[in-house]
């Protein structure tokens, strides 16, 4: 079979299954109410954030120009890393060009053949890919099953172990039992890696669930995060001890061989971080909107800004998404293989930028399309 024949076969299968994905370019301004994006605090278009990005581009140029180990590290990177560490209560931080790279680096550079990786079944694709690249044994346990983690760690043959979890999960919107996981890891001399992509800016007064639960700064807890959600920018970071950061600088391939985060994105994230610290009502508002949306579609209130509504199948999910779009509301559609439990879902994202009138309209529309 030729490559063209195989591609044609794959495309036909996707289409018949309702799993075809398409790129739909959007305009800079729209009348649609966006409940699909990840701009949790409405800072992506905040004039203070965009002005910081523009100033940085004019001052530093459009890109970092090189790997951070060559000439690609700029003073803005250092300022952002210091601010992130202070805000989240961590000893040190290292900024990457994407959150994906942060997760790849934290796993692949910190495990070896004598390490067991214990992964929650609902972790993000970037952590799944990190496990595949890590060359270590991987055991996937049921979602939020602390006892399964305990049993796996107790029976391991490797000298070291790393447990992977998200603080708030991106599909179900539920929180991880981080205290129990941290205690389990401590008991078994393992490291807990927590992806705070959906916790920063939303949980713990914006400082994340790890900080809220008093786990920040522990040497056996490592945090990864993105700058592209609550911070309205682009990029990622690892928050950990200085020893971990120095090891990543020297051993993490996605850091060593990648161009540094662009100045505009760095400055935008730094400006957004300062706004979150100064304006806690933004965090209160996004959580209020999230609770209202969950009540409207009759699901459990999420731990953060993201939530999803189970649907009968992929076709029904796309139909409900289209009905919402016709009513002026953009929502997400999660279908296999993007959902860890294989159930197609409408995915809703709360934002502090949603006003009360828009929230009422969204509740009415969403209730009308629910199965």
Predicted local distance difference test score (pLDDT) of residue 338 = 76
Take residue 108 and report the two structure tokens written for it. Answer: 């692949």
With tokens 């952002």, the residue in question is 80
Predicted local distance difference test score (pLDDT) of residue 19 = 82
- For residue 139, list its beta bridge partners: 118
Predicted local distance difference test score (pLDDT) of residue 24 = 83
Fold of 47-277: 3.40.640
Predicted local distance difference test score (pLDDT) of residue 5 = 94
Give DSSP secondary structure letters for 198-223: TTBTTSGGGB-HHHHTT-TT-TTEEE
Predicted local distance difference test score (pLDDT) of residue 77 = 98
Among 87, 45, 17, 371, smallest CA distance to 233 is for 45
pLDDT in tens, the chain (371 residues): 999 999 999 999 999 888 888 888 888 888 899 999 999 999 999 999 999 999 999 999 999 999 999 999 999 999 999 999 999 999 999 999 999 999 999 999 999 999 999 999 999 999 999 999 998 999 999 999 999 999 999 999 999 999 999 999 998 999 999 999 999 999 999 999 999 999 999 999 999 999 999 999 999 999 999 999 999 999 999 999 999 999 999 999 999 999 999 999 999 999 999 999 999 999 999 999 999 999 999 999 999 999 999 998 888 999 999 999 999 999 999 888 878 778 899 999 999 999 999 999 999 999 888 77
Q: What are phi and psi of 306, to 5 degrees?
A: -110, 150
The whole-angstrom separation of Cα 311 and Cα 336 is 12
- For residue 116, list its beta bridge partners: 137, 161
Domain ranges of the chain: 23-46+280-369, 47-277
Give DSSP secondary structure letters for 71-84: T---HHHHHHHHHH
Predicted local distance difference test score (pLDDT) of residue 166 = 98
Predicted local distance difference test score (pLDDT) of residue 37 = 93
Q: What are phi and psi of 80, to 5 degrees?
A: -65, -40
Query: Does a cis peptide bond (omega within 30 degrees of 0) precede residue 315?
Result: no
Class of domain 23-46+280-369: alpha beta
Inter-residue contact 257 to 251 (CB < 8 Å): no
């Amino acid at each position: 079979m030729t490559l063209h024949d195989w591609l044609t076969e794959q495309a036909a299968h996707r289409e018949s299954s309702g799993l075809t994905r398409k790129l739909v370019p959007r305009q800079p301004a729209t009348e649609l109410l966006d409940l699909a994006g990840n701009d949790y605090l409405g800072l992506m278009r905040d004039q203070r954030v965009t002005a910081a990005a523009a100033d940085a581009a004019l001052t530093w140029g459009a890109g970092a120009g090189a790997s951070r180990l060559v000439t690609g590290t700029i003073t803005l990177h250092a300022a952002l890393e210091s601010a992130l560490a202070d805000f989240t209560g961590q000893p040190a931080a290292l900024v990457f060009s994407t959150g994906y790279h942060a997760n790849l680096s934290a796993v692949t550079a910190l495990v070896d053949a004598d390490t067991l990786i214990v992964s929650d079944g609902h972790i993000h694709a970037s952590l799944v890919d990190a496990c595949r690249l890590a060359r270590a044994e991987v055991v996937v346990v049921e979602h939020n099953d602390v006892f399964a983690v305990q049993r796996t760690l107790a029976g391991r043959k490797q000298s070291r172990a790393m447990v992977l979890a998200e603080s708030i999960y991106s599909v179900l919107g539920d929180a991880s039992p981080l205290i129990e996981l941290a205690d389990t890891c401590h008991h078994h001399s393992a490291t807990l890696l927590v992806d705070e992509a959906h916790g920063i800016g939303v949980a713990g007064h914006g400082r994340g669930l790890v900080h809220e639960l008093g786990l920040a700064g522990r040497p056996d807890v490592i945090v990864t995060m993105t700058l592209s959600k609550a911070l309205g920018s682009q990029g990622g970071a690892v928050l950990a001890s200085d020893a971990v950061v120095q090891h990543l600088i020297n051993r993490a391939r996605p850091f060593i061989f990648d161009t540094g985060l662009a100045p505009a994105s760095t400055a935008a994230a730094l400006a957004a971080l300062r706004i979150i610290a100064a304006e806690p009502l933004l965090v209160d508002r996004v959580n209020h909107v999230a609770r209202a949306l969950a009540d409207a579609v009759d699901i459990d209130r999420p731990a953060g800004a993201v939530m999803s509504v189970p649907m009968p199948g992929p076709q029904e999910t796309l139909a409900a998404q289209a009905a919402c779009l016709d009513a002026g509301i953009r929502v997400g559609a999660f279908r296999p293989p993007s959902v860890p439990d294989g159930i197609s879902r409408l995915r809703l994202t709360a934002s502090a930028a949603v006003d009360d009138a828009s929230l009422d309209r969204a509740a009415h529309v969403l209730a009308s399309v629910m199965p």
